[in-house]
Amino acid sequence: MMNGAVKIAPGARLLFIGDSVTDCGRLRPVGRGSRFALGNGYVAQVSSWLEASQKARAIQILNMGTSANTVRDLARRWDADVLSHEPDWLSVMIGINDVWRQFDGVEPTAAVRLDEFWDIYSGLLARTRPRLKGLILMTPYYVQQDHGDPIRKMMDEYGLVVKDLASRNNALLVDTQGALDRVLARSDYKAIAPDRVHPTEMGHEILAYAFMRAVGVTPRQRR
């Protein structure tokens, strides 16, 4: 059951870019076509729901997520992995690793501080938004109820940047943190993301559902 009319026109090309949450084992070099090619995460679920909602030509989905990426990494591959594909609509979810690297101690030089995050992200959007029919920005998230937790607190700050950029660029906003928080209030975090970042099947469905709501369609959730 689908309620509402999707804002993305049939036949449009919709490209997703982001980190491992978007990647999810998508086909290389381009995740395109079958559900398998799109990986096993929220992008594939969105594709299925969009296909079910369309009465005409299906929306073309491309998944260009790459594990471990920060916004700095997106900038390095933006021309090849976004602009060269000439998407009509673009969905971006980035920021988790920008924050995570400030805490995990594995690769501290890979961390992207808030001011740099803003500068790079806003620059990418400034030169891309005029080429698009539509833009969708998805906030980063951390599956943690305690807003005082250092990682959660910082992730919220990066989320505010994304919300501001969405407003400035006339983009649809997917508040992934808010969507996850609503489920987290009645579920254990391990059911959503055991490491508080990488989603389970349930976690990906929450992300996909939030995305679909943002583009104008309310699918029926299994949970």
Q: Which residues are catalytic?
A: 20, 195, 198
What 24-27 contacts at long range (C-beta under 8 Å, 24+ apart), as own/partner pairs, is: 24/63, 24/65, 24/204, 26/63, 26/64, 26/65, 27/63
- Look at residue 166 and give its three-state secondary structure: helix
What residues contact residue 215 under an 8 Å CB cut-off, 6+ apart? 6, 7, 8, 50, 136, 172
